[in-house]
Chains A and B, each alone.
Chain A
Amino acid sequence: MAIRMKETDAVLIGVGLVGTILGRELTRAGLKVVGLERGEPRSTVPDFQGPQIHDELRYAVRYALMQDTARETVTFRNRRDQRALPVRRWNSFLPGTGVGGAAVHWNGQTYRFQDSDFRMRTRTEERYGKDFLDPEITVQDWGVSAEDMEPHYDRFEYLLGVSGKAGHLQGKKIPGGNPFEDSRSREYPTPPMKEPYGSALFRKAAEGLGYHPFPQPSANLSQPYTNPEGMTLKTCMFCGYCERFGCEHYAKASPQTVLLPVLLKDERFELRTNCQVLRINLDSSGKRATGVTYVDGSGQEYEQPASLVILGGFALNNVRMLLLSGIGKPYDPESGTGTVGRNYAYQTTSGVQVFFDRDVNINPFMRSGASGTVMADFVSDNFDHSSLGFVGGAYIGETMSHGRPIEFHPTPPGTPAWGSEWKKAVIRHYNHTSVLNIHGSSVAVRSNYLDLDPTYLDAWGLPLLRMTFDFPENDLKMSAYLTERAAEIGRAMGGRQVSASPRKGPYDITKYQTTHNTGGTVMGADPSTSVVNPFLQSWDVSNLFVIGASNFPQNASYNPTDTVGALAYRAAEAIVGRYLKSPGPLVQT
């Protein structure tokens, strides 16, 4: 029998990046807020301190900060005619858990999406004609513009203290920054990170080929910074232990370093950890959430009544929570109707390895999660697609994030995979290899989607989320074309040998690629093709807001976190400024 808790104004499902931002904005507006986090509490001291935090086996290989697949995982298949099986060990992507969520173990790459991303269908049809897009491709507009998003990107980046160089400031192009970005109202809060040697080689080669390289925007900071919340971040020490790790130096922006301590001091906020939310409860009309039901670490079930529910978990878990709660109409790939689970997309990444002579020392170990130099010449619709047969693009950059001993063993093609010849090759190439990253977009297609698995259950007896995904032809074409462009740059960098690995199908969930899972609760202006309106409010349940990368109608070329943070601030502004004054739908249907 569930214990009924005292009613609160708002309940957060998940206390990661989104939960922390919404918690802060709602308590500041005077609301009492309860934050429910399924994982452990943790903070920079003592949880992320060295030497323990540099235990590569524990964190990078055994995933100490990630969701526990023994309790909760996803099932996977490439196509609908296959039987999905549960993922027992994460590989392709690494959902986080615990206070701070995935924003604890991220790399800190902090990019804004472009206006051409937010208007992908309209722009594609305008520029290339109505017949350019394959009918299977279900990309759509977001219902927001870059101009709508700018103040929220700005606010989020100033919360994090992002280190970068503007390329388009108040309508003026600035040399050295990204010339393709939409106009930003202010310069980055802190100057760019130092440029590693391999990145400098990339920059020179890219410039020589007529491209426009710029320093990667980084939430690992180049200098100390105090944000508007009064939290101070310190300088990144280039230790090379970002992704999959917490930062020991208070140098990586995460909820713990930018906001959470401020929120925890607010007596209107209550954090409850080890609390697994089972479902969002609805009233008899099915149109209003009454709160949530959760289980604590001892197995006791609770009901937490709340006037407002904020679903701010990892993208995949947001989708699952709606399906488990019976909110919205599940997507049916047969008819193409229904919205929850629709337009699941990923990221189309590939790599180019550049093997140098012995006198070129790359020093891969002195890197940071987001150090490096990139170019946006092939991002989004910054180049002419008319003869290419695909939409979307990628940023290309030298953004190596580490040279860690267990994981980083570059060897040229043809090297045996083990044994003494492999060891010799690793020693030969470890310090003389640079890797270019091709970080590509992912279109949504009819056949890629998320639903509840008919067979497998989690530790609480609830159906797992089932993922049906393969790389769309469009994205494989894009990867082939842009990986070759990156290989050209690799050759211009002076590499003795260049090995290009364009992404190929079928999608293999046993190979690490990226944790940029998107879609499934997409935003939009049309309730028949979206789950939430442009303010992230559920079309079906108006006192429920769903916020995260699950809102992306398709995935863009850039990393998602900046957009997730900006969407969180946008939703918070709409709730505080409009919804609380007059609860109900913010967009009429």
Chain B
Amino acid sequence: MKTSLTVSLLGAALALACGAPRAQAPGAPAPQAQPAPAPTPGGGTPSPDRQAQDASGGAGDIAQGKQLAEQGIPARSVAACVSCHGAQGEGNAAAGFPRLAGQPGPYLARQLEAYADGRRANPVMAPIAKGMNDEQRRAVSAYYASLSAGTGEDGGARAGGGTSGGNGAAAGATGADAAGGQDGSDPGAQTGSGEVKGDDKGAGAAGGQDGAGAGPGGQRGETLATVGDERIEVQACANCHGAHGAGEPPDYPALAGQHASYLKSALAEFKRGSRKTDTSGQMPDIARRLSNEDIEAVTAYYAAQVPGADWATRREEALTLRRRAAQAAGQAPEPQQPGAQEGVPAGAEQGAPTTGNQGPGGTQSNDPASQRPAR
């Protein structure tokens, strides 16, 4: 678990460094990001730091976003977000309004774009999204990304995690069975609605060996989320949405702690094709393969999961890693000037050099020690 988190944070750091992790269109190499000073998340002005930019063009201004969220834009009939999504972005389960707190900012900004341009058809959200300009959408997205997913009365039933590094943000936890400052980096150790969640969701591990019985969503919900179902050719949600629905920023939203009512309507939109935000076609295909019972089960499962670390925290951790890496790399010698240099003949795995005893990365030294097979 730890290893995979480190890897995913590293991946997040790189993703932040390089823009959204998507292949670029043929013939259109993307503009390259310039080296830039360390970003200041939560700073008061739009950051010039392109390293922290998301696909929609830049990190938003949190303070501006907070104002928008609380007051709306009356001149353009943009209602205050808080009126539906709650004071802390906790959403509203009864009305099917999603929790926004702690979701990746770039993900939220893209949803607003989609509401504005019709890829998500929603009579309430469309005029609101259209009433905001790009900068305002990014700002309000950045604000909600900065809130802890575990806050707010609605989330309190389960909340508690979602922070790391002991920076005190766990104060938002109000839930009776909150896991008491559990580090979001170890979701496997957190408790949900009373049932123990093992950290190994392997194929064979899904059996209900704990006497407490299945949690919300039952065995079926957990199986779909963590293992998938070969019979209907649906892969596990966890492949993209992370272990226990923690999300995979910046592209994939967190599902943990999201209201089942909202998740159901989102799947229904994918199923009938009215939500066109997934150009890969994965979500529409998956939604079409799920029965109504499956959707009930898997949404109940995710609604009961403890949200992981919020986006802002994860982003800060990733940027810290990136700063450290940039510092270390800064001391590395630059490549020599153009000119072919012969390396040691070695393997290339379908084009990619491998390391250790397998390729150029580990065998370029003339040091005989490096020629020994790695253990």
Is A417 in contact with B26, judged by CB distance below 8 angstroms? no
Using Cβ atoms and an 8 Å threshold, which residues of chain A touch B4? 51, 54
Is A424 in contact with B25, judged by CB distance below 8 angstroms? no
Most buried by B among A44, A47, A499: A499
Using Cβ atoms and an 8 Å threshold, which residues of chain B touch A473? none
Is A503 in contact with B23, judged by CB distance below 8 angstroms? no
1/0 per residue, CB under 8 A from A, across B14-27: the answer is: 10011101111111
- Looking at the assembled complex, report how far the CB atom of A399 sits from the nearest CB atom of chain B, in whole angstroms: 4
Is A193 in contact with B23, judged by CB distance below 8 angstroms? yes
Verify if A287 is at the interface (C-beta below 8 Å from B).
no
Using Cβ atoms and an 8 Å threshold, which residues of chain B touch A351? 346-348, 351, 353, 359-360
Which one of A109, A223, A235, A502 contacts B350 once the chains associate, using CB atoms below 8 Å? A109
Using Cβ atoms and an 8 Å threshold, which residues of chain B touch A366? 21-23
Q: Which of the candidate stretches B68-76, B94-102, B266-274, B365-373 sits at the interface with the other chain?
A: B365-373
1/0 per residue, CB under 8 A from B, across A33-77: the answer is: 000000000011111011110100000010000000000000000
Is B282 in contact with A417, judged by CB distance below 8 angstroms? no
Is B17 in contact with A361, judged by CB distance below 8 angstroms? yes
Q: Which residues in chain A, 306-336, are within 8 Å of chain B measured between CB atoms? A: none
Verify if B240 is at the interface (C-beta below 8 Å from A).
yes
Q: In the complex, A90 Cα to B325 Cα: how many Å?
A: 34
Is B14 in contact with A363, judged by CB distance below 8 angstroms? yes
CB contact under 8 A between A491 and B340, given known A350-B348, A428-B329 = yes
Is B340 in contact with A224, judged by CB distance below 8 angstroms? no
Q: Which of the candidate stretches A11-19, A338-346, A404-412, A525-533 sits at the interface with the other chain?
A: A404-412
Closest residue of chain A to B21, judged by CB? A366
Closest residue of chain B to A359, judged by CB? B32
Interface of B is mostly: loop
Verify if B333 is at the interface (C-beta below 8 Å from A).
yes
Is A498 in contact with B339, judged by CB distance below 8 angstroms? yes
Is A197 in contact with B24, judged by CB distance below 8 angstroms? yes
CB contact under 8 A between A424 and B352, given known A365-B14, A417-B365 = no
- Looking at the assembled complex, report how far the CB atom of A495 sits from the nearest CB atom of chain B, in whole angstroms: 7
CB contact under 8 A between A400 and B347, given known A200-B28, A353-B360, A417-B362 = no
Verify if A274 is at the interface (C-beta below 8 Å from B).
no
Q: Which residues in chain A, 185-208, are within 8 Å of chain B measured between CB atoms? A: 192-197, 200-201, 203-204
Verify if B193 is at the interface (C-beta below 8 Å from A).
no
- Count of chain B residues with a beta carbon within 8 Å of a chain A beta carbon: 84
- Looking at the assembled complex, report how far the CB atom of A470 sits from the nearest CB atom of chain B, in whole angstroms: 14
CB contact under 8 A between A499 and B341, given known A408-B352, A512-B349 = yes
Verify if A355 is at the interface (C-beta below 8 Å from B).
yes
Interface of A is mostly: loop
Closest residue of chain B to A407, judged by CB? B354
Q: In the complex, A164 Cα to B364 Cα: how many Å?
A: 36
Is B238 in contact with A235, judged by CB distance below 8 angstroms? no
Closest residue of chain B to A355, judged by CB? B335
- Looking at the assembled complex, report how far the CB atom of B257 sits from the nearest CB atom of chain A, in whole angstroms: 20
Q: In the complex, A407 Cα to B245 Cα: how many Å?
A: 28
CB contact under 8 A between A424 and B239, given known A195-B24, A435-B353, A500-B343 = no
Which one of A200, A232, A397, A496 contacts B334 once the chains associate, using CB atoms below 8 Å? A496
Verify if B344 is at the interface (C-beta below 8 Å from A).
yes
Using Cβ atoms and an 8 Å threshold, which residues of chain B touch A254? none
Is A243 in contact with B349, judged by CB distance below 8 angstroms? yes
Verify if B230 is at the interface (C-beta below 8 Å from A).
yes
Is B23 in contact with A412, judged by CB distance below 8 angstroms? no
Is B282 in contact with A511, judged by CB distance below 8 angstroms? no
Using Cβ atoms and an 8 Å threshold, which residues of chain A touch B338? 491, 495-498
Is B23 in contact with A232, judged by CB distance below 8 angstroms? no
Is A405 in contact with B350, judged by CB distance below 8 angstroms? no
Taking A46-B203, A417-B363 as known contacts, 15 extra A-B pairs with beta carbons closer than 8 A to each other, sorted by chain A number, are: A45-B233, A46-B227, A107-B350, A109-B350, A193-B23, A223-B281, A224-B285, A248-B236, A349-B347, A428-B332, A490-B340, A499-B360, A502-B345, A510-B373, A512-B354
The residues of A with any CB-CB pair to B shorter than 8 Å are 43-47, 49-52, 54, 61, 91-92, 107, 109, 192-197, 200-201, 203-204, 215, 223-224, 232, 234-238, 243, 248-250, 349-351, 353, 355, 358-361, 363-367, 369, 371-372, 397-403, 405-418, 421, 423-429, 431, 435-437, 439, 484, 487, 490-491, 495-504, 510-514
5 A-B pairs within 8 Å (CB atoms) are namely A364-B352, A371-B23, A410-B360, A499-B360, A501-B360
